A = this chain, B = another copy of it.
């Protein structure tokens, strides 16, 4: 059915397989998921996939520019299909929830350091760290009761 997805892969020089189509669809369905979450999603689509294939597909899709990988501290890598707009991310220190933040500039690198130390800079990665609304109200309600990160994603 997703005839266009097949063509999308081919246009980018990627050979079409059921696994890659499913991985791409999984990334598209919900942004910022981890490889493990994506593997789960793919299994519910096509029955089975090996861990290695998920990693390979994600790498291939990322290298060819169909998806983007983000690697926040204290989290496994996450993937999204919103690309080309150089947007940034807002991440909850407590539960790890990730939300998109538009970049006012758009093109990368959107910021320039005063002194680039001779480096050829191609990207300014910005991550805003804080607490999400759910974690804020959790803290207010139950105080220090449970200090373990809850899942608000």
Q: How many copies does the complex hold?
A: 2
- A interface residue count range (under 10 / 10 to 19 / 20 to 34 / 35 or more): 35 or more
Contact B132 A128 (CB under 8 A): no
Is A48 an interface residue, CB under 8 A from the partner? no
Chain A window 109-147, contacts with chain B (Cβ cutoff 8 Å), 1 for yes, 0 for no: 101011111111111111111111100100000000000
Q: Among B93, B102, B113, B133, which residue has its beta carbon within 8 angstroms of that of A90?
A: B113
Pairs across A and B, CB under 8 Å, 5 listed? A90-B117, A99-B119, A102-B113, A119-B131, A119-B132
Interface residues of A (CB under 8 A from B): 71, 73-74, 88, 90, 92-93, 99, 101-102, 104, 109, 111, 113-133, 136
